[in-house]
A and B are shown apart, each in its own frame.
Chain A
């Protein structure tokens, strides 16, 4: 394998293809990582166009395929895509909220060869504080969980944690147990897109985080091997950045609903880069030769302190999108790193989160929906980006 310390002439092939088949979604999650301007995107790829993407991804060597969204069940041709993907030899993963998963559909997915389903606990109501006790949510997840078990899939639950639900970690774990989960992922919110808009409302305090970890560890002790629990800490509470996407253009390729091909699902926000469409180019050219995919490969783009950092081959300077969102320059070190001259931007946000109550003037929560997406998109076009 090529190392990240050089500018490889030719990178390895992608292993992961993420197909964000639609941005339509029945939910309005405030922590959603979908682009905030999704409502302004062009028409979705057709079935035929998706099948072409799947073939090209497989020819490139991708083995893992994620059907995601939005809510992928909103596409009524998902059955066709799954069957084709399996025929091509992908390990197929469906990432879903379960809303819209009927027995007829799951039977067709099984028949078509779907390998794996990840069910997310999400806020299906706008009453965020009530959602855990919401009968509607529980009944829906219970029905879906029964279907998943009936069709012999592993029960994989994912729940995104934030300031308003992290204190319910115990109840979340118990609910997962009650529903027969084999794997539970408690993923702290990553602050991109909608979650970034809502960051001051969503970032948990140190104390909340510590308590949630304690509860999780106690739960692990009690259930032993029966349930595997993963607890993903928020990077804002770290001092070293995550090795984002395992390096730019190294393993992951994302295709968005309108066909734009990205090295990560957030990269479309970065200024000065144009990402090609799968409608106009094949994935092979896009992966190996397009300027966008080569922009942050290797380390020639790095600035100090990354350029001379001994960890640069380990964390690749963190996340380009986070560097851009917080500092205005994607080439900067991810400010999560305490060696970054911008690290105070992270510590200040965490200090704010550590106050017992949110200040009265905190930015109101923005729900992910088409109207807000258009509003945010218009706002973005009006303002000059910070540099």
Chain B
């Protein structure tokens, strides 16, 4: 990935994986990945944990709330926003409400 471009979106909009992209656990890489035509992006560690929750039922705020419950006392919002804006900029995810 050359220069990730961040694109902001509504934090209350439900987000989903974009058409033609697939998210899965990849044993050979020992991490989650996003697959798309002729390509793959590795999502190690927390990025995979965030992406796991992008499934067409949660918003960014929903994901932050869920992660904070799971990992109490850790400030996660900034990381989640960073990652998801990059993911949005790369076209991997799309807000459902915005179409």
**What residues make up the interface of A, taking CB atoms closer than 8 Å to B?**
13, 15, 60-61, 63-64, 89, 91, 93, 115-116, 152, 154, 156
Contacts and interface: CB of A to CB of B under 8 A. Distances in A.
A116 B37 contact: yes
Given A60-B28, A61-B29, A63-B33, A15 B40 contact: yes
Given A116-B20, A154-B20, A64 B29 contact: no
A64 B37 CA distance: 8
Contact of A64 (B27, B28, B38): B38
Nearest to B25: A89
Given A13-B28, A91-B35, A64 B20 contact: no
A60 B33 CA distance: 16
Nearest to B22: A91
Residue among A64, A91, A93 with the highest chain B CB neighbour number at 10 A:
A91
A115 B37 CA distance: 8
Contacts of A13: 28
Contacts of A60: 28
23 contacts: A61-B26, A61-B27, A61-B28, A63-B26, A63-B33, A63-B35, A63-B40, A64-B35, A64-B38, A64-B39, A64-B40, A89-B24, A89-B26, A91-B35, A91-B36, A91-B40, A93-B37, A93-B38, A115-B35, A116-B20, A116-B37, A154-B19, A156-B37
A60 B27 CA distance: 10
A93 B24 CA distance: 17
Nearest to A86: B22
Contacts of B28: 13, 60-61
A13 B20 CA distance: 24
Contacts of B20: 115-116, 154
Given A63-B40, A89-B24, A89-B26, 20 more contacts: A13-B28, A15-B40, A60-B28, A61-B26, A61-B27, A61-B29, A63-B26, A63-B33, A63-B35, A64-B38, A64-B40, A91-B37, A91-B40, A93-B37, A93-B38, A115-B20, A115-B35, A116-B20, A116-B37, A154-B20
Contacts of A115: 20, 22, 35, 37
Contacts, number: 35
Interface of B: 19-20, 22, 24, 26-29, 33, 35-40
A67 to B, nearest CB: 13
Given A13-B28, A61-B28, A154 B40 contact: no
Contacts of B39: 64
A215 to B, nearest CB: 25
B76 to A, nearest CB: 29
A159 B39 CA distance: 21
Nearest to A61: B28
Contacts of A64: 35, 38-40
B35 to A, nearest CB: 4
Contacts of A116: 20, 37
A63 B42 CA distance: 12
A98 B35 CA distance: 24
Contacts of A91: 22, 35-37, 40
A28 to B, nearest CB: 27
Contacts of B33: 63
A99 B44 CA distance: 41
A193 B97 CA distance: 51
